[in-house]
Copies of this chain bind each other. A is one copy, B any other.
Amino acid sequence: MFEFTMHLESRSQRPLYEQIYEYIKEEIQNGGLPCDERLPSTRKLAQHLQVSRSTVTLAYEQLLSEGYIDNRPGSGFFVNHLDGLYRLAGGKEMEIPERKKPAEKFLYDFSPSGVDLESFPHNAWRKISRGLLMENNEDFYQLGAPEGEEELRRTIAAYAHQARGVRCNWQQVIIGAGNDYLLMLLNAVLGEERIYALENPTYRKAYDILKILGNEVRTVDMDSHGIRVEKLEESGASIAYVMPSHHYPLGTVMPAGRRLALLKWAAEEDRYIIEDDYDSEFRYKGKPIPALQGFDGNDRVIYLGTFSKSIAPAIRISFLILPQKLLGLYRERGRCFSSTVSRMDQKILAEFIREGYYERHLNRMRSVYKSRHDTLLECLKPLAGRVDISGEYAGTHLLLTLKNGMNEEEAICFAKEAGVRIYGLSSYNIGRKKTGNTVILGYANMDEDKIRSAAEILTRVLK
């Protein structure tokens, strides 16, 4: 019979029963106690180890519940068959070295995806958060509805109507943690065997996501009015992902005629349009361009809105406004996904909008970004004749098309040598040859002084 030569530490932090359990478990794992070996009775082992019988019983119960031993009634405890036991590797896991590229150093970065965070309305946000934390409301910690909180959905429906001309009732609004998640959710709701089409160039991430989710994804060329509807028709797609109020990255505004043609395309068959309305709050000339959704008389537009660009990227709240037609399908296929946004965050945002903070913040940001936009345009004047500027007066970036014989790569490279990071349009083109002669300058994250200095370098470099 197996010899129990264990040493119990009575002053250890670990309870005695645990020491016994660990000892026997290890002996079973390393083969010291072979299978079918009979363990001593609890009485005998207690005597042998000079502990109470209940201590041994506890250890045996743990071994039983983890399946190391078996209780054969009437004949005692036996070591179980543990065929093909995998040895536990000892020691701590090694860290995986991160595969990071060394960060490149730039004096100035015209990133088109920047957001000015210095203007984040900390005080208002904090005040609302604190107020809600004080309420001590147990409900906040309960799981909310999968679509989001009624209060926030109503607030967003009213806001989207007033600010963007969206026509919906609050039940069409679905809250989710960011656009990427909502695209995933929408993809699950719409189901397989849909063909998507995106404008070319387009927001690359949306293209990648739709592909990764297993869809067939096509691209459709644009002209100066936006997506070419006759090409869209030819593509065989049944869902078009577009940015009609301010295309990314081109900045194109889809005019009313093209909008109507696109809506007609959708209405003709079982087709939908995903309207990504990511930054149309920022327009520096005239009124905002109203959303495509508001023109749609046939319930065919899926509106996708976000607070990442207008408040802060870390506010993980976006929303879908589904056509009424799709609500049945959402209930069937989308409601089983629990909400990805905490009720607390939804309440903070609802109050932020309702109390007028959001509108004030937008007005402030519009003026901050307009001033940067105007400064950049002014500073680029020395390049007149050598570049064409497009996509200005809206959003937070513009495009320079070079007419000085330089291509995009050369321009990026020369600017980089002078410490300025600019971006090529080609990376937004899907499946086309890499080099064009258009570069993108984003100005959201640079103040006027930086813009002046950076633009001064560019005017030298792009001569």
- A residues with CB within 8 A of B: 17-18, 21, 58, 61-62, 65-68, 80-89, 93-96, 98, 117-118, 120, 122, 126, 129-130, 133-134, 136, 138, 140-144, 167-172, 177-181, 184-185, 188, 191-192, 205, 208-209, 212-214, 225, 253-261, 263-264, 285-287, 289-290, 294-298, 308, 312-316, 324, 327, 333, 336-345
Q: Is the CB of A314 within 8 A of B96?
A: no
A126, chain B: closest CB distance, angstroms: 5
Chain B residue, CB-CB nearest to A62? B286
Question: Bound complex: CA of A212 vs CA of B93, how far in Å?
Answer: 36
Chain B residue, CB-CB nearest to A296? B86
Copies of this subunit = 2
Q: Which 4 A-B pairs have the closest CB atoms?
A: A67-B255, A143-B313, A177-B340, A141-B312
* CB-CB under 8 A for A336 and B88, given A260-B82, A327-B96: no
Q: Which residues of B contact A86 (CB under 8 A)?
A: 260, 263-264, 295-298
Q: Which residues of B contact A212 (CB under 8 A)?
A: 188, 333, 336
Q: Is the CB of A205 within 8 A of B336?
A: yes
Q: Which residues of B contact A177 (CB under 8 A)?
A: 177, 181, 316, 340-341
Question: Bound complex: CA of A178 vs CA of B342, how far in Å?
Answer: 10
The residue from B65, B67, B181, B253 contacting A65, defined by CB atoms under 8 A apart: B253
Question: Bound complex: CA of A29 vs CA of B89, how far in Å?
Answer: 74
Q: Which residues of B contact A314 (CB under 8 A)?
A: 140-144, 342-344
Chain B residue, CB-CB nearest to A133? B126
Q: Is the CB of B138 within 8 A of A66?
A: no
Q: Which residues of B contact A95 (CB under 8 A)?
A: 169-171
A121, chain B: closest CB distance, angstroms: 10
Question: Bound complex: CA of A323 vs CA of B17, how far in Å?
Answer: 33
Q: Which residues of B contact A256 (CB under 8 A)?
A: 66-68, 80, 82
Q: Is the CB of A81 within 8 A of B337?
A: no
List 13 A–B pairs whose Cβ atoms lie within 8 Å, in order of A's numbering: A17-B286, A66-B255, A68-B255, A82-B257, A84-B261, A88-B167, A178-B340, A180-B338, A188-B213, A208-B336, A212-B336, A342-B345, A345-B345
